[in-house]
Amino acid sequence: MHAFNYHRPSSVNDAAALAAKQAEGKLLAGGQSLVQAMKLRLASPSDLIDLGAIGDLKGIKVDGGSVSIGAMTRHAEVAGSAEVKKAIPALAYLASQIGDRQVRNMGTLGGSLANADPAADYPAAVLGLGATVVTNKRKIAADDFFKGLYETALQPGEIITQVSFPAPKRAAYVKFKNPASRFAIVGVFVADTGKGVRVAVTGAGPSVFRVADMEKALGAKFAPDAVAGIKVKADGLNTDLHASAEYRAHLVTVMAKRAVEAALK
């Protein structure tokens, strides 16, 4: 790992000021992705701005029809929260399926979203539920947040402060996981929001995406057989040592069917 300067601000404003000054700096959340990337010298920031001492970024609030989760809230806290389990059980379940216990005790919601790993789980919930990503500068709708492989709408130095998830009528997340890392080979989040159905797919493409044909079919009839015949094209999907693009395309339909089944339970 290359040397860097370390900063530990106690407020979002101080963190933003530091980030603005250090063009080659990076924000540090749980470190579960960033520290490993730095060891491999895939990332060599001049400065690390640790968000760990900022109390305002932690915690879960349920308010009317929505669940707001602070960017520094750990995966384990979301998975174990009685409030999240009650308001959006699919979200608590998704968090419980990330990595392993130790990773869930350190990894954060904000870190996962900013990192935008193509196989990460949280992006499926954010896009599937039509959540709003709140930063120190603005509110970003889920449909505008994910831009591509490891790419988001965040500007340099912009800090995610919280994410607001509207509670759906019913929802479920099912993933076909890599048995070693538990990352999604394909994960599908299905949500019946009350104002329509949203289907978000992670792991399959360079970035999380929605499947309009499935959303339309499920809007007409919310049942597993409504999506059973709908295929996505393999063009542009990921091929790696774990699965080919064709196999991933096949899994999208299978996982979508299972997610609808799970949402109906």
Ligand X SMILES: Cc1cc2nc3c(=O)[nH]c(=O)nc-3n(C[C@H](O)[C@H](O)[C@H](O)COP(=O)(O)OP(=O)(O)OC[C@H]3O[C@@H](n4cnc5c(N)ncnc54)[C@H](O)[C@@H]3O)c2cc1C
3 binds, among ligand X, other proteins, none (CB under 5 to 8 A by kind): other proteins
Least distance to other proteins, CB of residue 138, Å: 28
Report whether 260 contacts 224 (CB < 8 A): yes
Q: How many CA atoms lie less than 13 Å away from 241 in the CB half-sphere?
A: 1
Beta bridge pairs of residue 191: 171, 198
Restricting to residues 217-236, name those near other proteins by CB under 8 A: none
3 touches other proteins (CB under 8 A): yes
| Two structure tokens written together for 70 | 């602070």
Q: How far is the CB of 4 from other proteins (least distance, A)?
A: 6
Pick the closer one to other proteins by CB: 75 or 248.
75
Q: How far is the CB of 148 from other proteins (least distance, A)?
A: 25
DSSP letters of 213-238? HHHHHHHH--SHHHHHT-----TT--
CB of 22 to other proteins, least distance (A): 13
- Residue 48: which of ligand X, other proteins, none does it interact with, CB under 5 to 8 A by kind? other proteins
Decide: 31 and 106 in contact? Cβ < 8 Å.
Answer: yes
Q: Token pair 């394909």 is at which residue?
A: 186
Left (φ > 0), alpha (ψ -120 to 50) or beta: where does 56 sit?
alpha
**Spatial distance between the Cα atoms of 246 and 252, rounded to a whole number of angstroms:** 10
Judged by DSSP in three states, 164 sits in strand
8-state DSSP, 143: H
When binding is defined by CB under 8 A, the residue of 10, 13, 24, 39 that contacts other proteins is 39
Give me the residue label for tokens 């009839």: 221
Give the H/E segment covering residue 159. Answer: none
Of residues 63-92, those binding other proteins (CB under 8 A): 76
Query: Cα angle at 140 between 69 and 173, to 5 degrees?
Result: 55
Q: Which is nearer to other proteins, 80 or 89 (CB)?
A: 80
Q: How many residues does the chain have?
A: 265
Q: Per CB under 8 A, does 58 bind other proteins?
A: no
Q: Per CB under 8 A, does 48 bind other proteins?
A: yes
Q: Which is nearer to ligand X, 78 or 154 (CB)?
A: 154
Binding residues for ligand X (CB under 6 A): 26-34, 51, 71, 98-99, 103, 107-108, 110-112, 114-115, 117, 120-122, 154, 159-160, 181-183
Give the binding-site size for other proteins (rule: CB under 8 A).
29
Interatomic CA distance for residues 250 and 238, integer angstroms: 12
**x-or-dash pattern for other proteins, window 88-127, by CB under 8 A?**
-----------xxxxx-xx---------------------
Min. distance of Cβ 6 from other proteins in angstroms? 4
Interacting span for other proteins (CB under 8 A) from 30-38, 112-120, 194-202, 254-262: 30-38
Q: List Cβ neighbours of 82 (8 Å cut-off, separation of 6 or more).
A: none
Residue numbers of the site for other proteins (CB under 8 A)? 1-6, 8, 28, 30-32, 35-36, 38-39, 48, 50, 52-53, 76, 99-103, 105-106, 180, 182
